[in-house]
Amino acid sequence: MWKAIRRGYRYGQLWPQHAVVGNLPEARVIPATKLGLKLLPLAAAANLFVQIQYLGLEFLPQIIAGTLFLLVLPVQGYYWLGKRAYVKLPPNLEAWYFDLKEKLNQSGEDIRLPGHRPGPCYIDLARVLKKALSVLPPHDY
C-alpha cells in the first residue's frame, strides 16, 4: 500500500498540468489531492476542536473518526494515482503515446518504452507528454 502511495506521489509530480490532458481524470485528481494535502490538516484540526467544544468528550470516538477521515483523503488520492500509474493505456491513448514517441525520436530525443512492460502505461504517457511539451512545437502534440 505504501508503495502505491509513493508511486502516486511521484506520478502526480510527473503529470503535466496542460490543456492537452485536461479531459483525463488526472487533471482533476492531482490538483484536488494537492489542495487537500494543504487544506485538510487545518480542516481536521478545526473539526477536532469545534466538535470537542460543542459535543464534549463523550463523543470522542466519533470526533476522532471524522478527523481521521479528513486527514486520510489526500492519501486516498495518492493511492488512486499510484494504482492508475501502471494501468495499461487504452487503444486511443496508446496510439497517441506511440505518435508522440515517434515525433520525439525524430526530433533527436531517445524515448524508449521500459523493457519490463508489455505496453505503455499512464506513467509512460506522462513522461512522454512532459518531454513533448518541453521539446515539440505546439502543433505537434
The pLDDT tens digits for 80-93 are 999 999 999 999 99
How would you write 107-141 as a 3-class SS string? CCCCCCCCCCCCCCEHHHHHHHHHHHHHHCCHHHC
Cell 483525463 belongs to residue: 24
Model pLDDT, residue 36: 94
The mean pLDDT value of the chain amounts to 89
Distance CA 65, CA 49 (A): 13
Model pLDDT, residue 45: 95
The pTM assigned to this predicted structure is 0.81
Give the start-to-end residue ranges of the domains of the chain: 1-85, 88-141
* 93 touches 123 (CB < 8 A): no
Question: What average pLDDT does the segment 133-141 reach?
Answer: 71
Distance CA 40, CA 47 (A): 10
Question: What average pLDDT does the segment 119-137 reach?
Answer: 86
The count of residues in the chain is 141
Percentage of the residues of the chain whose pLDDT score is greater than 70: 96
